Amino acid sequence: MSDVLLKVSGVSVSIPTGQGNVHAVDDAAFSINKHEVFSLIGESGSGKSILGQAIMRLLPPNAVFSGKVELDGTEISALSEKEMQKIRGKTVASIAQNPYLAMNPGIRVGTQVAEPMRAHLGLSKEDAKARTRRALKYFDILPPEVREREYPFQYSGGMLQRAMVAMGTAADPELIIADEPTKGVDVLKRRNIAAIFQKVASEGCAFLLITHDVGFARAMSDRIAVNYCGQIIEIAGKDAFFKEPLHPYSKALLDAVPERGMHPIPGSSPSMIEVPEGCRFHPRCPHKTERCLADPPVVEMARRCVRCWLYA
């Protein structure tokens, strides 16, 4: 058995809108190993979240999907909806960005956390209840006997975030897809989220972190992928990436973080509907040449790859 847990190859997603087709994901290819924390970083609105939804097969109904997603050797992108339901929440679970929106306001938290257990582990009501209490306790939601009977709006933001992680991990998934877990969150809460995620990861759960937060990705991940305008433009091990980012956009992205002097990236993010021809970053790239008007190749190197003409 290989170590590869999730393998995404040639995945593209476009979503028709009134203004035209949004090319949210273009030719995405990467894999995540078992127990690995993998981050997909990039600016907001660059199609990262759609990729997460595509893996879960929870795209908007009008989205057009192509490509292949394999989980544990099963091609989940070819499963029927019914078979997929057995995977969701069981093998791969997702944790949404805003717990107040992602939890059902009309159902008690305990019931919501217990749902994946009842659906996937075949637990009886009593067993699920006991397990839910243990889960709440594990994530410091105390006292669980009281908290399980409360509704989401009675929780504080941090506690609800933990409840959501408890819900995501309820059926012991092998992979968790977390979408922008630190968006709009203050420094202290960000640290708390990192701590919970690390706690879950230390038990062997793999993560796909979808985030714009470079610092958070650095603290958490084993490997990093950079997303720009719907394309993955670089994948590398964390240390290698932060030591020496290869793609001009990666460099610019790292220079834009406060610790490195907050240098803004020149130009503005391109439209996702009429994407630039050739290399999508070329209009903003300091190294652009004639050949950048043609699609750049994905250049494979030792344990990393980059989509750029500079390395061809």
Partner 1 sequence: MLKEYFIRRALYLIPVLIFISFMSFSLIYIAPGDPAEIMMTSPSGGYDEAAVEAFRIAHGLDQPFYIQYLNWLKGAVVGDFGYSYMSEQPVFETVLNAFRNTLTLSVLSLAIALVIAIPLGVVSALKHNTVVDDACRFVALFGVSIPNFWQAYLMIIIFSVILHWLPASGFGHGTDISYMILPATVLGTGSAAVMMRMIRSSMLDVMGKEYIQTARGKGLSEKIVIIRHALKNALVPVITVVGLSIGFLLNGSVVVETIFGWSGIGNLVVDSILSHDYMMVQGSVLFVAVIFLLINFFVDLVYVWANPEIRYDRTS
Structure tokens at 260: 């490195």
Of the chain, the end-to-end C-alpha distance in Å amounts to 33
- 38, with CB counted inside 10 A (0-12, 13-18, 19+), is buried
Peptide bond into 143 cis (omega under 30): yes
Alpha-carbon span 110 to 260, nearest angstrom: 44
Comparing CB distances to partner 1, the nearer of 106 and 184 is 106
- Can you give 5-70 as a three-state secondary structure string? EEEEEEEEEEEEECCEEEEEEEEEEEEEECCCEEEEECCCCCCHHHHHHHHHCCCCCCCEEEEEEE
Q: Near partner 1 by CB under 8 A, which window of 42-50, 115-123, 259-267, 284-292? A: 115-123
- Which of 6, 71, 103, 285: binder of partner 1 (CB under 8 A)? 103
In the region spanning residues 195 to 254, those forming contacts with partner 1, defined by CB under 8 A, are none
Comparing CB distances to partner 1, the nearer of 29 and 79 is 79
Q: How far is the CB of 53 from partner 1 (least distance, A)?
A: 8
Comparing CB distances to partner 1, the nearer of 113 and 226 is 113
Alpha-carbon span 10 to 139, nearest angstrom: 37
- Which of 10, 58, 191, 303: binder of partner 1 (CB under 8 A)? 58
| Per CB under 8 A, 192 contacts partner 1 | no
| Per CB under 8 A, 85 contacts partner 1 | yes
Q: Near partner 1 by CB under 8 A, which window of 93-101, 131-139, 288-296, 304-312? A: 93-101
Any idea which residue has 């091990």 for tokens? 237
| Per CB under 8 A, 181 contacts partner 1 | no
Beta strands 37-41 and 206-211: pairing type? parallel
| Per CB under 8 A, 63 contacts partner 1 | no
Distances (CA, A) of 225 to 86, 135, 147, 241, 263: 28, 31, 38, 9, 21
Q: How far is the CB of 85 from partner 1 (least distance, A)?
A: 5
Comparing CB distances to partner 1, the nearer of 62 and 202 is 62
- Which of 42, 47, 110, 116: binder of partner 1 (CB under 8 A)? 116
Q: How far is the CB of 102 from partner 1 (least distance, A)?
A: 5
Q: How far is the CB of 64 from partner 1 (least distance, A)?
A: 18
Beta strands 4-17 and 64-71: pairing type? antiparallel
Alpha-carbon span 88 to 65, nearest angstrom: 18
| Per CB under 8 A, 90 contacts partner 1 | yes
* Cβ proximity of 28 and 51 under 8 Å: yes
- Which of 104, 124, 198, 289: binder of partner 1 (CB under 8 A)? 104
Comparing CB distances to partner 1, the nearer of 90 and 137 is 90
Q: Which residues contact partner 1 by CB under 8 A?
A: 56, 58, 81-82, 85-90, 93-94, 96, 98, 101-107, 115-116, 119-120, 151, 153-154, 167, 171
